[in-house]
């Protein structure tokens, strides 16, 4: 599975949109982009995933570039409860059972 690169941390003001970047320049054609987050002392929470089209659900939007080498997770109106470590993961459907978590990115939403 391809590796991802995320900045170590980011701050965002409450109520503003949070745009979380992720680079995955070695992504293969059959690999999906997954986003999870982990709030302190809790298990990771699935947010969204996509292959090549932009995706939106009740939690967030996922924008994947046309060449699929990078993506952005958008939290449209960040709240204090969105403070967490966000993980961008690429994984092939039906591939290895490993869901490999990197170091992720700490998002701090400030009042």
Partner 1 sequence: SQTIHQWPATLVQPVGSPLSLECTVEGTSNPNLYWYRQAAGRGLQLLFYSVGIGQISSEVPQNLSASRPQDRQFILSSKKLLLSDSGFYLCAWRHRTGGNGGYTFGSGTRLTVV
User: What residues line the site for partner 1 (CB under 8 A)?
Assistant: 32, 34, 36, 41-46, 49, 51, 93-94, 97-104
In sequence order, what are the residues at sequence separation of 6 or more whose Cβ sits closer than 8 angstroms to the Cβ of residue 87? 6, 35, 36, 37, 38, 44, 101, 102, 104, 105
Check: CB of residue 89 under 8 Å from CB of residue 34.
yes
Check: CB of residue 71 under 8 Å from CB of residue 34.
no
Residue closer to partner 1, measured from CB, 67 or 97: 97
Residue closer to partner 1, measured from CB, 21 or 44: 44
CB of 14 to partner 1, least distance (A): 26
Residue closer to partner 1, measured from CB, 31 or 82: 31
CB of 80 to partner 1, least distance (A): 21
């Amino acid at each position: 599975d391809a590796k991802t690169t995320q900045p170590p941390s980011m701050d965002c003001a409450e109520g503003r949109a949070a745009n979380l970047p992720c680079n995955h320049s070695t992504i293969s054609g059959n690999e999906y982009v997954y986003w999870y987050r982990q709030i302190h002392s809790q298990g990771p929470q699935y947010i969204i995933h996509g292959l090549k089209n932009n995706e939106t659900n009740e939690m967030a939007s996922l924008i994947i570039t046309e060449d699929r080498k990078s993506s952005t997770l958008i939290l449209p109106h960040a709240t204090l409860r969105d403070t967490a470590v966000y993980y961008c993961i690429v994984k092939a459907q039906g591939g290895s059972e490993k869901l490999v978590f990197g170091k992720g990115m700490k998002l701090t939403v400030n009042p």
